[in-house]
Amino acid sequence: MLQLCNFINGELQPPAAGRYLPLLNPATGQVFGQVPNSDAADVDRAVQAATAAFPAWRALPAEERGRRLVRLAELIDQNLETLAQAESQDNGKPLSLARTLDIPRAASNFAFFGTAAQHFATETHLQEGVALNYTVRHPVGVVACISPWNLPLYLFTWKIAPALAAGCCVVAKPSEVTPYTAFLLSELSREAGLLAGVLNIVHGTGPGAGQALVEHPGIRAISFTGGTATGAHIARTAAPQFKKLSLELGGKNPNLIFADCDLDAAVQTSIRSSFANQGQICLCGSRIFVERSVYEPFKAAFLAQVQALTVGDPLEASTQQGAIVSEAHLNKILSYIDLAHQEGGRLLAGGQRVQVPGRCAEGYFLQPTVFEGLAPDCRVNQEEIFGPVVTLTPFDHEEEALTWANSTDYGLSATVWTRDLARAHRVAHQLQAGVVWVNTWLHRDLRTPFGGMKNSGLGREGGLEALRFFTEAQNVCVKL
Ligand code: TXE
């Protein structure tokens, strides 16, 4: 039985109180290990280690810090297969997806920020003949990075890499549902030459280790990705201590299909934007609005491709849809499918659990599901389901599509399909979404600002935005 450890002060350590949580493979329903159920004592040890390591880490030239992060990227690449297998086993996602998306992106995160820190410059403000002001950006200190279960190593490293590059020391907590690859990262970070205490990884639940981390007075900034309710709770906890906050929360993203678009491309990409990672990506487009004149052709082509998606054992090369992350989450998604029926939706595809024969007989599989006939303001179209469930809705004109697209409390991402250049820009600028894709989806450039409007979050990650977040600006004014 696999037993994970915390990683504190450069050493793998069991939790102080000796308590553990089971680790479950959602594709088989079987327990395959245990993860520390850490408490405030473990968190405190980690914060102390990070605090002790901070002066030496921040004093290293950015180039030196970057070299180690780039080395860590190389080690992730070298261990790609082991990490991909662990990610698939822990999360239920197709192994092919972990190999091509999750793990390569984790390596890119370190490679990108390892070099980005060397390009990070600050401003000067010259008052001719009077004074010279220049800005210094100091690392904020010890920071917390808290990540969710859907893209485990990808999102974990997306926070840790810029924090370390900026000169901060980190106490990180991966989701208790999918901690395996974070554990494997512990060893790799040591091999990459990170000094002891620079990166600490504490495992445990949100209310346990997570809450202790957010409350700890030694933590100066918190970078969090997860549910909106959790984000609100963290903000309430952190505010009285004036901690910097970066919150990447939920989404209910619109996908607007205009009649003048390349319909084949729109259908093909909409399959991915609806169902990639079983729909468990905060950027998935779960509300598909289609201009009425192409509604029927879009629907027919879309449904044909949905029916052809293979749900099955994540280890099979032919599998496109793996398992849902947990039984609890599967039940939540099923409750939304029930709700969609109650709210008058017409089921066009899916809607049922899938029994995968063989070793996956006890796994949590669900058919990709499509509804139509639901009002834009019903709960199914307003609340984040975070699973393979999408709705189709026809619209008559641009204004209507925009009103519906912007009608939720969320504002993370949106996709627009059109060949009309003016419309693409016009619609993009009116969408209340932090990220807008035109004729593409999940096309990422790590230099761009990433994050949401409204209840989708606070602040932006990525590129210089992330380096600014993990640093504190100081103005120095010199009289001339
Ligand atoms: O997220 P949580 P969950 C959405 C999605 C999903 C819902 C709940 O709708 O159904 O959120 O998922 C830690 N102090 N997203 O329960 O609880 C927790 O341990 C400090 C959207 O997994 O927000 C984990 O490490 N930390 C999303 C992380 O927060 C706390 C991705 C996320 O857990 C804490 C995942 C606390 N009080 C879910 N409580 C996205 N936007 O990508 C929990 N945590």
Ligand 1 close to Cβ of residue 149 (< 6 A):
yes
In a domain, 303, yes or no: yes
What would the pLDDT profile of 8-25 be if each residue is shown by its tens digit? 999 999 999 999 999 999
The residue nearest atom 28 of ligand 1, judged by CA position, is 148
Please indicate, yes or no, if residue 451 is contained in any of the structural domains.
no
Residues 440 and 460 grouped into a single domain: no
Q: Are residues 33 and 119 in the same domain?
A: yes
Could you tell me if 109 and 161 are in contact, meaning their C-beta atoms sit under 8 angstroms apart? Answer: yes
3-state secondary structure of 13: strand
Q: Answer yes or no: are the C-beta atoms of 471 and 137 closer than 8 Å.
A: yes
Q: H or E stretch including 284?
A: none
Ordered alpha helix ranges (H), 276-397: 295-307, 327-342, 379-382
- For residue 225 and ligand 1, the question of a CB distance below 6 A is answered with yes
CATH (domain of 280): 3.40.309.10
Are 56 and 35 in contact by the 8 Å Cβ rule? The answer is: no
* Distance, CA of 221 to CA of 243 (rounded, Å): 5
- Considering the domain architecture, whether residues 241 and 266 belong to the same structural domain is answered as no
- Same domain? 340 vs 389: yes
Taking residues 407-412, what's their average pLDDT? Answer: 98
- One domain for residues 110 and 204: yes
Q: What is the DSSP letter of 206?
A: I
241 CA distance to ligand 1 middle (Å): 22
Q: What is the CA radius of gyration of the chain?
A: 23
Supply the pLDDT for residue 283.
Answer: 98
Residues 236 and 285 in one domain: no
Residues 253-266 pLDDT 10s: 999 999 999 999 99
Residue-level pLDDT at 424:
98
Q: How many A from CA of 225 to the centre of ligand 1?
A: 7
In a domain, 374, yes or no: yes
Cα angle 247, 323, 446; round to 5: 35
Q: Are residues 36 and 100 part of one domain?
A: yes
> What CATH number does the domain containing 185 carry?
3.40.605.10
Whether 386 maps to a domain, the answer reads yes
Q: Is 250 in the pocket of ligand 1 (CB under 6 A)?
A: yes
Alpha-carbon separation of residue 24 from 27, 84, 201, 255 (angstroms): 9, 16, 20, 34
* Average pLDDT over all residues of the chain: 98
- On whether both 245 and 262 belong to a single domain, the answer is no
pLDDT at 26: 98
Split into its structural domains, the chain has a count of 2
Query: Is the minimum distance from the CB of 158 to ligand 1 under 6 angstroms?
Result: no
Same-domain check for residues 169 and 245: yes
* Nearest CA residue ID for atom 19, ligand 1: 206
Is 248 assigned a catalytic role? yes
Both structure tokens of 48: 């102390």
- Tell me which of 176, 248, 384, 461 is the catalytic residue: 248
| Predicted confidence band of residue 365 (pLDDT cuts 50, 70, 90) | very high
% residues pLDDT > 70 (the chain): 100
Q: In angstroms, rounded to a whole number, what is the distance separating the alpha carbons of residues 152 and 80?
A: 14
Contacts for 246 with CB less than 8 Å, ≥ 6 apart:
221, 222, 223, 224, 451, 457, 458, 459, 460, 461, 466, 469
Residues 48-103 have pLDDT tens digits of: 999 999 999 999 999 999 999 999 999 999 999 999 999 999 999 999 999 999 99
217 and 338, same structural domain? no
- Distance between CA atoms of 174 and 163, rounded to whole angstroms? 15
- Both 315 and 435 in one domain: the answer is yes
Q: Which atom of ligand 1 is nearest to the CA of 155?
A: 42
Residue with tokens 């009116």: 430
The residue to mutate among 230, 245, 364, having the most atoms of ligand 1 within 8 angstroms of its beta carbon, is 230
Whether residue 230 sits in one domain with residue 139? yes
Does residue 211 line the site of ligand 1, with CB under 6 A?
yes
Full domain range(s) for residue 41: 2-249+456-479
234 Cβ closer than 6 Å to some ligand 1 atom: yes
Q: Is 457 left (phi over 0), alpha (psi -120 to 50) or beta?
A: left
CB atoms within 10 A of CB 469: 24
Q: What confidence tens digit (pLDDT) does each residue in 21-58 have?
A: 999 999 999 999 999 999 999 999 999 999 999 999 99
pLDDT value at residue 303? 99
What's the CA-to-centroid distance between 120 and ligand 1, angstroms?
31
